[in-house]
Structure 1
């Protein structure tokens, strides 16, 4: 019998997938984890200033922690400088500002690069750099190479190799234990689900553009639109709600977890049109509930979708998505068997993934004793 590793889990943007991963790990770990969090708003201010508040909280018990585990909206370099002693530290990238897509109308070369440099400094300051997918790791390192070459002189090209050498991929766990088996499909059209953030990087205009085209063709379907809203909502949502009003079975974020998982189980297809996706927890949840995923053949999706299912689940372009959705709605193709989906996506359940998380902090802490 031995002591568990004492982990200070720092999440300056405690919402969405960030919150889901933090809470899921805490529920399943064999270690002692305490979360230090801030509400999910003002993400730019979180990157600039969360280190001051979190360092103050941590300093009150700095001797208590074996490991600091921070996520990518934390300025880890500032945090470590402000703590009274050096604690083994990991930074976990849910996303990064080096490879994040520009907003419509924003010229990428002219973007404010301070947030990308904060990610660079965080990765250099941390002892381990963890990514939720190989896709994100590769995009981050490639983007860093381009970023440092933009500097007029004193380019820290060495930093990319230094970060790569201490990087690894750590798929997140997903709370699947409470996701019910698919409900019997009711008579009538199938239900298509959108359960992503209502933001530009998820390309809602592509999703609603395809649905509007199908509606204009008279193709039968229902639509359920869930997902969280942060700040400005793209105008396409209001237009789509009006245009598809007679087909909508649900609209808006579902606060209650049981109600949300019940909605998943009533849908037959889940669609992503994302321009930026480093893992895709919402797709994993829906697929486990029996919804046939139709997701881009790029980003993290080819990695996340189990290999035997990729041919049926990955779309190449908007025309291909339109074709595949049309076939499913008209019944010329059948959705994948929900039992096959449930088995394939079960590899992301926390009961499977928690061991990798726990072993990572055990190695980081330098402890060699057995852990309960």
Structure 2
């Protein structure tokens, strides 16, 4: 366990049972920017055990402190269990932050879903004073799933839980600390400028993608080893572009956790289809790995060997940012995403995004960056492989500053005061 105490009398108690990834980044941001914080964390290992047992552990390790006014924790913690074991903490303003929710976590079979994790989240909401979600999708999917989730109880079911929880709920986007990457950007990214209202043929091509995605609002996630991918490409003029932007192969980056819920099967099998069509591209597969790495990664490592530029987690943040700055396109194939820090970081570094038209993505990304089917993803990557300049010249229409710590700092400061929302 890591413990960080402030000098004097701490007012804010920060608890994080799974101190890794975006959970760690948020706690670190709050610790650095909110005065009088006391922090207790557990390593980001064995998530299931953290969700089951961290409340009892924290109940024994967090010292009694009369100056505490606010308790902040992610939803991994069973807050109901903690405050029942520690009545002194029950009197605090209790803030529960949902990075994700277990009611809609994708499982291969419904019987594989462990009821207790979602049930604990509902209980934690009931004892919280403020329930914060990082996106509207996260909040809406959680609240709308409570009733069907509770129907799994065979009899004597509790009632009106969503109605009790909803008034406590607020949406506060995850605050990303975007670094200054201007010195890392290649020349073509540094010199991109908006067209002052003028549109180009390339812009029209990309807008056309947005209209195509509107034709199919229901995304079909394929579990096949090789999802269908039509050979017919979008009919657009292909012309020679005598510039460096067209010479280098398209660089695709996939910066996500190496887990099944990020749907690596769809990503890699799409790349294999591109390779079969003799399309030239490079790929960087980044992201953290945990205990159980899907088999597709070892297969793809061999099949795509000649295309790979970077493979695996990059412990240096500077190296990670450099790869994002060097890349052209960032792809998400997620089946489980409630915000998507990695996608926004990549866009901040000048990458062209391709995301599912599902989950949180329509809340953040305009239509032209969304695909509705595996076929659409494959076709768009085909076009970009043939025309890398489409991505390299395009200015992505996403204002990442809206999700920055600078923009959201005041909201979090208010949240972590005893008289805040």
Shift of 1:154: 2.3
Counterpart check, 1:267 vs 2:327: yes
State the match for 2:97 in structure 1.
92
State the match for 2:312 in structure 1.
252
Q: Aligned in 2, Cα 1:337/1:17: closer, same or farther, shift over 3 Å?
A: farther
State the match for 1:15 in structure 2.
20
Q: Which range moved further: 269-278 or 343-352?
A: 343-352
State the match for 1:183 in structure 2.
186
5+ residue gaps, structure 1: none
User: Number of aligned pairs?
Assistant: 354
State the match for 1:321 in structure 2.
377
Shift of 1:164: 1.0
State the match for 2:159 in structure 1.
157
1:247-301 deviation line (CA, Å, top 9, x unaligned): 1000010111111111111111000000000000000000100010100111001
Counterpart check, 1:192 vs 2:248: no
Counterpart check, 1:353 vs 2:356: no
Shift of 1:182: 2.6
Shift of 1:33: 2.4
Instruction: Answer whether contact 2:344 2:400 (CA < 8 A) is retained.
Output: yes
Which portions of structure 1, spanning 4 or more consecutive aligned residues, are displaced by more than 6 angstroms?
none
Q: Which of 23, 33, 36 is equivalent to 1:32?
A: 36
Instruction: Answer whether contact 1:315 1:321 (CA < 8 A) is retained.
Output: yes
TM-score (norm 1): 0.90
Counterpart check, 1:76 vs 2:79: yes
CA distance, structure 1, for counterparts of residue 396 and residue 92 of structure 2 = 44
Q: Which range moved further: 128-137 or 76-85?
A: 76-85
Q: Which range moved further: 148-157 or 211-220?
A: 148-157
Instruction: Answer whether contact 1:149 1:155 (CA < 8 A) is retained.
Output: yes
Shift of 1:233: 0.3
Q: Which range moved further: 214-223 or 180-189?
A: 180-189
Shift of 1:367: 6.8
Instruction: Answer whether contact 1:133 1:169 (CA < 8 A) is retained.
Output: yes
Q: Aligned in 2, Cα 1:263/1:57: closer, same or farther, shift over 3 Å?
A: same
State the match for 1:141 in structure 2.
143
Instruction: Answer whether contact 1:4 1:30 (CA < 8 A) is retained.
Output: no
User: Which secondary structure does the structure 1 equivalent of 2:416 belong to?
Assistant: helix
Q: Aligned in 2, Cα 1:170/1:194: closer, same or farther, shift over 3 Å?
A: same
Shift of 1:338: 6.4
Shift of 1:351: 1.0
1:299-310 equivalences in 2 (<5 Å):
299-305=359-365, 310=366
Greater RCO (Cα-Cα under 8 Å, separation 6 or more): 1
State the match for 1:42 in structure 2.
46
Q: Which has the larger radius of gyration?
A: 2
Q: Which range moved further: 78-87 or 35-44?
A: 78-87
User: Which secondary structure does the structure 2 equivalent of 1:249 belong to?
Assistant: strand
User: Which secondary structure does the structure 2 equivalent of 1:261 belong to?
Assistant: helix
Q: Aligned in 2, Cα 1:215/1:4: closer, same or farther, shift over 3 Å?
A: farther
CA distance, structure 1, for counterparts of residue 266 and residue 170 of structure 2 = 33
Instruction: Answer whether contact 1:226 1:252 (CA < 8 A) is retained.
Output: yes
Instruction: Answer whether contact 1:62 1:83 (CA < 8 A) is retained.
Output: no
Shift of 1:47: 1.2
